[in-house]
A = this chain, B = another copy of it.
């Protein structure tokens, strides 16, 4: 069974490693319908922790949750020209319901701007009705050709925020506020360093004026877009006639935003921190932060388990998420292996000899073991979890720095995107960007907000740079 849990090494086949670790750590399984997954309890618990963190931050910034319908009339999607162009190839369409053919086919929502715009046009009359600060937790469907668990699935869970404002300034502030919340989730909870920046015109959301993003670098050198926040301008307001009477008595269109983060964030966690032994979960999002593995023979079973239960209680009293693995049918070695695979940050080993000496062995998923007085564990572990988080972040940041290169020639560019981020100048021309993608499979990830002002010439075509700074390029999920 230990062998059965063995993983393909990352260096041998990262993609295979990813698929195996998801299955073997019981995060998810494949659903019966093409491109769908089943998120199993251990994977769903990570999602619940992400939800809890985001939901709190959304509410602290004045947002409220609501729920809009799954089915959207096809005619709604056609009201915003770029939006329908972007999403119609991926739509799932309901044509029959209640035993009859529908008069108008219904799209299963790929995102909810249109239906929310329709409702806002009924609800918003005056500046007093603004801002509208809404969020929705739910499922959406995008029928993609190539799917991959968590990263690209026919159906996925996410949150989609939608806000409407009286002014452009206020809406743009909101866009950045929400992107910052995503960046905080990544850095402070998932221990993932991210670059905040602007998407190019080619890569922006279908229907947006502009899109902002957080971009992370995975261990195989590919980028992952982990959350996006869009300024939609008056595009949806005009498409759905969302107007209000302002303080100055003028009737104006609202300015809207939307922002979303999905369970692909779990994919980012897996591929940022995992290693050849399995997952490595960031403590603040880990379903189990500490696992206690009691080691006993028949004669010592009772007293070891009793001590383990006492320890569990003491750690829970400190607010830690603890699991006591008291299964009789498995050896301690089997259990060590399994909890390493599942990425639990700390393991406490507790045997009869330890007990006699009032101590226990503490093993970190990042390596290293130490022997500590049993009574000291409840005090020590919270701090050790903080240090674990910081070490994870430090390692991920060091990896990213080692895999980021400033490049000024197309040859150097092609090499750089084999292993990570390439920072290069670009002319801003969509056609040129498309050629880069065709020739290298790399795409622009973002124009980073925090970057030195720098002028230069497009890495591919040599025309002057359009952005006043280098653009981040990479192959991407």
Contact = CB atoms under 8 A, between A and B. Distances in A.
A383 interface: no
A36 B69 contact: yes
Contacts of A92: 71, 94, 96-98, 106
Contact of A38 (B37, B39, B67): B67
A11 interface: no
Contact of A44 (B47, B66, B139): B66
Interface in A297-331: 329
- How many copies the complex holds: the figure is 2
Interface string A134-166: 100011010111000000001101000000000
Contacts of A33: 69, 71-73, 106
A477 interface: no
Interface stretch (A115-123, A170-178, A209-217, A351-359): A115-123
A139 B71 CA distance: 11
A368 interface: no
A47 to B, nearest CB: 8
Contacts of A29: 119, 122-123
A220 to B, nearest CB: 27
A134 B44 CA distance: 11
A285 interface: no
Nearest to A90: B98
Interface in A50-69: 64-69
A93 B66 CA distance: 26
A189 interface: no
Of the four ranges (under 10, 10 to 19, 20 to 34, 35 or more), the interface on chain A belongs to 35 or more
A77 to B, nearest CB: 12
Contact of A39 (B44, B66, B73, B154): B66
A349 to B, nearest CB: 23
Q: Which of A89, A106, A134 has the most CB of B within 10 A?
A: A106
A66 B89 contact: no
Interface string A30-47: 011100111111001101
Q: Which of A67, A90, A93, A106 has the most CB of B within 10 A?
A: A67
Interface in A359-386: none
A228 to B, nearest CB: 22
Contacts of A128: 329
Contact of A67 (B39, B66, B143): B39
A69 B329 contact: no
Contact of A141 (B65, B70, B88): B70
A118 B33 CA distance: 12
Contact of A31 (B32, B68, B139): B68
A92 B154 CA distance: 18
A457 interface: no
A48 interface: yes
A118 B67 contact: no
A91 interface: yes
A99 interface: yes
Given A65-B48, A70-B139, A157-B67, A95 B98 contact: no
Given A33-B69, A329-B128, A96 B98 contact: no
A336 interface: no
Contacts of A14: none
Contacts of A65: 41, 44-45, 48
A314 B118 CA distance: 40
Nearest to A138: B139
Q: Which of A96, A98, A143, A329 has the most CB of B within 10 A?
A: A98
A223 B66 CA distance: 28
B38 A155 contact: no
17 contacts: A32-B118, A33-B72, A36-B69, A38-B66, A38-B119, A41-B134, A44-B65, A44-B67, A45-B64, A48-B65, A70-B141, A71-B141, A71-B154, A91-B97, A93-B95, A128-B329, A138-B139
Given A38-B66, A39-B66, 11 more contacts: A31-B68, A31-B115, A36-B69, A38-B69, A44-B67, A69-B155, A71-B141, A91-B97, A92-B94, A92-B106, A97-B154
